[in-house]
Structure 1
């Protein structure tokens, strides 16, 4: 079987450990599950909660996701017409469909094998597909997972930014847990740009501001994400702190005390277990 990650080597594990953006090559371009028609068919299978649509052309700093959302009615046909309808579509959590779950696992297992990482440590695996009209913009935001953006069709410029200081980062992270989805109201300072085309992609570290601008062609891309132990602990602590902040208290920041962070992460896991419906998968 052809590897989906032909150019990754053990040095890639260091980039993940240090959360350093890096370009790579992949073998997903031309995959039979990732054509425009198959992506449209998948959109017709997914539940409405797993579909998102926005205007393609928007400011780099577009604000909260709810401010730019559009209807997902007849999304399959709209994706087929994406070259002309000036739209930007997201298929969320494609791993809930078995054939795409297998693809996400293959990508991440190939990554782990080539980089020398233990695949069991790549947890909370998720997959997302994107279809966007020419000149479309993925607004500036950050994610909490390790993300691997892989271009399938068209050429785009992926920009990376940074927070002005730790205080700004803390404010934006708190906003994330209160429903901003990590989107920015003001453009972050640009620190790097990478052009990605079919067969290339870029690693996007957690909590790293980034945005994408399409070229003159329709863009298709896939992103796979995962968490590792450090990343999961950080996210659980940030979620815990956001809950505490809503009460008017000021919690200790992540990283101030490893012991305190472990306790917060444990509390969030216990809270999630209590809220999980009986019989739900773990």
Structure 2
């Protein structure tokens, strides 16, 4: 994959915080070609329909997933116009694509020595890519696993219930 994703300082910060404390974790993925919007359009086209979820982004924070209205644009058009689409999207199980499996493994291999002693072996390596318009809201949900979120572009505000 090239140079390390995480600097030594980022790895130290993760080691000091994981899994008890949320931190800003710096990385070197910002210009990775697989995370370019055109590449993500290509990835979305290879995934089964159930692995691509997209919704309007102008929603109240506490909206129930069942109450979210249907999107107005198709998948590719949503990704290409994400800056103004007023939407959010998640591409699930990206590891089903060989290039993204390699990227995911490279990222997780770098932090395995930190994560494994604290929360156990990574039993199921899964990667999800969230693509969202500015100001979009993802409905509340519960994740049963430990997550390491890496923001590639823009900013994100997270609400913890």
Normalised by the size of structure 2, how large is the TM-score? 0.85
Q: Judging changes above 3 Å, is the alpha-carbon distance between structure 1 residues 84 and 139 closer, same or farther for their aligned structure 2 residues? A: same
Q: Secondary structure at the match of 1:40?
A: helix
Unaligned runs of 5+ in 2: none
For the residues of structure 2 that align with 1:151 and 1:42, how far apart are their CA atoms? Answer: 18
Q: Contact 2:57–2:88 at 8 Å: present in 1 too?
A: yes
**Number of equivalenced pairs:** 156
1:159: Cα distance to partner?
3.0
Write out aligned runs for 1:92-131 (5 A).
92-113=92-113, 115=114, 117=116, 121-131=121-131
Structure label with greater radius of gyration:
1
Q: Secondary structure at the match of 2:130?
A: strand
For the residues of structure 1 that align with 2:42 and 2:51, how far apart are their CA atoms? Answer: 14
Which residue number corresponds to residue 14 of structure 2? 12
1:67: Cα distance to partner?
2.2
For the residues of structure 2 that align with 1:33 and 1:111, how far apart are their CA atoms? Answer: 20
Q: Contact 1:52–1:72 at 8 Å: present in 2 too?
A: no
Normalised by the size of structure 1, how large is the TM-score? 0.51
1:73: Cα distance to partner?
6.8
For the residues of structure 2 that align with 1:2 and 1:85, how far apart are their CA atoms? Answer: 33
For the residues of structure 2 that align with 1:26 and 1:71, how far apart are their CA atoms? Answer: 32
Q: Judging changes above 3 Å, is the alpha-carbon distance between structure 1 residues 72 and 111 closer, same or farther for their aligned structure 2 residues? A: farther
Which residue number corresponds to residue 157 of structure 1? 157
Q: Contact 2:14–2:25 at 8 Å: present in 1 too?
A: no
Matched, 1:27 2:46: no
1:92: Cα distance to partner?
0.9
1:168-198 per-residue CA deviation (whole Å, 9 max, x = no partner) reads xxxxxxxxxxxxxxxxxxxx3xxxxxxxxxx
1:109-139 per-residue CA deviation (whole Å, 9 max, x = no partner) reads 01124x3746x81221100111111211123
**Which of the pair has the greater relative contact order for Cα pairs under 8 Å at 6+ separation?**
2
Q: Contact 1:52–1:70 at 8 Å: present in 2 too?
A: no
